[in-house]
Structure 1
């Protein structure tokens, strides 16, 4: 984590407007360059908000993919700080009080949740979910549980749903497949696809009706007939999945030399329709 937590660090973050704003304007409170993480940190572009995200572990990345692919999610704020925590008059006992300040500098801790998610409600009104992403073994540590309890009380007072998500609640294969498809969400760098996109879509859908053909066979045929560079058939296929124009069973590992019938591939039309995948709560 951050090597030294002090007033200078807090003031710098606030001056940079970290933890503030929504959508494209939000800035993550903690960023990849700040953290000496034991896990793998990732910067990744998010299409929901059109900005770069700072994710501090593979688990956060997997959960982010699930959120990105969920049609009901309208905003995702990562490493979200509870800046007004110390103004909320949350009741704490002596044991929890020790977690409120840095033991060396006595500077108040700024607690963060992995994600503050905005969702569309049934009546169209937005509602919020706070999610902490943790490895299950971390929940065996008393200090971790104490910090989580403080955050639970904060969000309870705010009237926001609070939850902890571990590797046990995340479908990693589904998340990996979604990430694989989202990599081709934007195909602006492939002009040979853009110029013929309506025709290529129709051909791809037609070829996919041949359930006994392999994906690789279909992609090669499309590339040959339209004189596309090798690999563009796959990029188009991923693009159609990412944009919800094709749905398939994303819970299984995808082997391109397998037959189409193994994956329940369906065409959902322009703008996708309702083919969302459930995210672990």
Structure 2
């Protein structure tokens, strides 16, 4: 039996009626974290661009998501994006490979992250651990994705754990937590507030955390205020930092004010 003669998995057919459609807050991923077994590594995390929870199926997906969610040209990210079955069947026939299926039923091919960029063509990202690339079926599925997205005029990228360092991953997770912080102390911050805090520690060569703690005492602020404001400003791309160095080691002189941050060392520079 030809793949084109096989029926679609009923579960996938049902999901396609409501998922993988729309953008921003209205987008619903094809696969959600509670629907899969991910070895205990799955995350629901609020997106700064989409203003909705994103469903990420591994720690590596989380790292990739945080990089692109922070990238200054990103306007939307769609995770677990389903590719049209008609297109993937056609691509498989052309490539001479078997379409993904389970128990004789066709399975929808998904792309881990689809990033919509301001004034640029989009970017499709397949997130895979390097060891998974030893599996031929995994490689074939990646070929399907690559052909599909290139047909759509999107750039296609493969993202592995080798793309970013442990320091960048830790920093991005620390900054994302700051972006999620709803503490009333930080909700009404203006650019002038951030500049004022920045001016208080600028020029010092001492450790940022040490100086911020001393400033809290000097200005009779709640403990953690200065580092909290700074963390919020970095998360909002208003202060530039060396993401290649773990945040605990930043000195005051490592920071600089900026109005447009182009993701420093690491994978996202490749996007521009």
Global fold match (TM > 0.5): yes
**Which residue of structure 2 lines up, in the alignment, with residue 265 of structure 1?**
255
Where does the alignment leave 5 or more consecutive residues of structure 2 unmatched? 1-6
Change (3 A) 1:139 1:200: same
Change (3 A) 1:11 1:228: farther
Q: 2: distance between equivalents of 1:95 and 1:84?
A: 16
Q: What is the TM-score of this pair, normalised by structure 2?
A: 0.84
2:92–2:144 CA contact under 8 A, matched in 1: no
Q: 1: distance between equivalents of 2:107 and 2:256?
A: 49
Displacement of 1:93: 6.6
Change (3 A) 1:33 1:95: same
Q: 1: distance between equivalents of 2:49 and 2:197?
A: 26
**Which residue of structure 2 lines up, in the alignment, with residue 101 of structure 1?**
101
Q: 2: distance between equivalents of 1:156 and 1:210?
A: 48
Alignment equivalent of 1:205, drawn from 198, 201, 204:
198
Change (3 A) 1:115 1:194: closer
Displacement of 1:184: 1.6
1:186–1:239 CA contact under 8 A, matched in 2: no
Displacement of 1:37: 1.2
**Which residue of structure 1 lines up, in the alignment, with residue 124 of structure 2?**
130
Matched residues, number: 262
Displacement of 1:197: 5.5
Displacement of 1:208: 1.9
Q: What is the TM-score of this pair, normalised by structure 1?
A: 0.82
Instruction: Write the deviation string for residues 226-270 of structure 1: whole angstroms up to 9, x where unpaired.
Output: 5433223222111010112211211111226x6423xx21122xx
More helix by share: 2
Q: 2: distance between equivalents of 1:108 and 1:196?
A: 51
Instruction: Write the deviation string for residues 32-89 of structure 1: whole angstroms up to 9, x where unpaired.
Output: 0011112510110001110100011111111111101111111111111103445763
**Which residue of structure 2 lines up, in the alignment, with residue 180 of structure 1?**
174
Where does the alignment leave 5 or more consecutive residues of structure 1 unmatched? none
**Which residue of structure 1 lines up, in the alignment, with residue 16 of structure 2?**
14
Q: Does 2:225 align with 1:232?
A: yes
